[in-house]
Amino acid sequence: MTINEGKNVLQIVVEGLIQEAYELLAETINATRAADAGAKRQGVSWTGRHRLHVLLEAAEDTWRGLPDAVVAPWFLAELKTTLDVVRRWRGKPFWKEIKPSLKDPTHFKHTILKLHAAEHLERGGHKVEIVPRGKSASPDLMLHAIAGTQDLVYVECYQPSALCGKPSDISTKEAGSIVEKSMEKAKSQLKGKAPGIIAICGYNQSHRSLETLGQAVETRLQRTYRPNLCGIWLVTLGVILRIDKDSTSFTPTISANFIPNPSYSGRVDIEAKVPDDHPQLIKEPLIDISTDSLGSKDINLVTKLVTASNVSSILVKKAKSKVTRTGKLNIIEMPKQLSRAVVHGTGNKVPPLFEGEGNLDCLCGQCQAVLAKCAWDPSISNIVVECPICRAYNEFPPLPDSEYNRLQLTKGNYNFSDAVKLRRRVCIEGQ
């Protein structure tokens, strides 16, 4: 195909996309064409086909139909950003290990979203590496924390079929199932003591679906104890339709929403807030539109195809802890004088006597008053607490040695008139 004079700008852009697709991904296209054609003949929906062929088909149908028709312009925008990310990564040393995965329909979607997630982290200043696929389970990405000892953080990307971009909202049940499967999958991918992140990735999800998924994530994390899981990251590749006075455009975007795990107690601090003045933050109000409602054959719908990829970041608001895990303390006899570190409470601000941002409430073993609210499991060790309500003596048992910082209370009595603030990775320990 050659670019002829007299073609309009959109024709030139679409032809350029098709040519670039064959230049960058000819091997993948040729190796998967027959299988995708068979899937299409069997009536497999576009969400179940090889996504590269779906995008390329929209471009080729548009090229043949111009100047009278544009087919699925949102797919043209996605094809543009897909080719952009392939072009940027194909020159890197480990591309030869990534390339074979593009031939599998499921792995193609996973790999493209994985590369977008990696680039998003790189834009945040992180050094990111792709973890090669091996015989044993392993995470997808490895990044270095910024500053300090630059500890490694591992990222496992999960791309469920329900988030492939079909024009319908996911249900609460579907969202819960997605989160459960991602947590189960990460058990084998994120092992050891290194901090890890689960990235749930998808295409073209509505605001309502992302809200439903986010709520499912928060609910699930509130009842988990995984001290090395930093949280769950929702990464979505989408398209923004912008209608101006004289033109209409489709712009590829990435939204990223990090939901912290309240039981995380690792040594790497996670900062997920996006500055209000970030140049790539979209501040305009957005409305969800189903592609089914956008007459894909209407040439008046698109007069300009945006050729530069923009990225949007959703501002993350830290969720308040909603504790769903509880643990009863053991009741013991009143300790002998100066034999233990004993905490007493006085005044109307106690209980609780300790408070943090974890997801564990420690209850009095007799009256079930909350003595430590929103604690982490390793927050308190070898301390006796007299319940301000029933006056029973409760024991926080000694914990094994760990790498957490320790704040020691010598043997004696301590009177608290307000809750002591607990900190992640700091253990208050009695002598």
Residues 305, 249: contact at Cβ < 8 Å?
yes
Inside any domain, residue 53 = no
Whether the CA torsion 32, 36, 37, 42 is positive or negative: it is positive
Look up residue 175 and give its two tokens.
Answer: 């969202």
Residues 370 and 261 in one domain: no
Residues 258 and 335 in one domain: no
Judge residue 153's burial from the number of C-beta atoms within 10 Å of its C-beta, 0-12 exposed, 13-18 middle, 19 or more buried. buried
Reported as half-sphere exposure (CB side, CA atoms, 13 A), residue 88 has a value of: 13
DSSP 292: G
DSSP 351: S
Inside any domain, residue 79 = no
Residues 380 and 292 in one domain: no
Structural domain boundaries, residue 373? 325-430
Residues 276 and 330 in one domain: no
Inside any domain, residue 236 = yes
Inside any domain, residue 5 = no
Residues 338 and 294 in one domain: no
Provide the 3-class DSSP secondary structure of residue 381.
strand
**111: region left, alpha or beta (phi > 0 left; psi from -120 to 50 alpha):** alpha
**Helix or strand holding residue 223 (H, E):** none
Residues 203 and 334 in one domain: no
Residues 214 and 282 in one domain: yes
> What does the DSSP assignment read for 229-283?
EEEEEEEEEEEEEEE-SS-EEEEEEEEEEEEE-TT---SS----PPPTT-TT---
Residues 369 and 419 in one domain: yes
How would you write the pLDDT of the chain (431 residues) with one tens digit per residue? 333 444 577 788 889 999 999 999 999 999 999 999 999 999 998 888 999 999 999 999 988 887 777 777 788 889 999 999 999 999 888 898 889 999 999 999 999 999 999 998 888 888 888 887 766 668 889 888 776 566 889 999 999 989 987 767 899 999 999 999 999 988 888 877 789 999 999 998 888 899 999 999 999 999 888 888 999 999 998 877 666 666 666 778 888 899 999 988 887 777 766 555 555 555 555 555 455 444 443 333 333 333 333 333 333 344 444 667 899 999 999 999 999 999 999 999 999 999 999 999 999 999 999 999 999 988 999 999 999 999 999 999 998 877 778 899 999 999 999 999 999 888 999 98
Residues 35, 52: contact at Cβ < 8 Å?
no
CB neighbours of residue 57 within 10 Å? 18
Inside any domain, residue 244 = yes
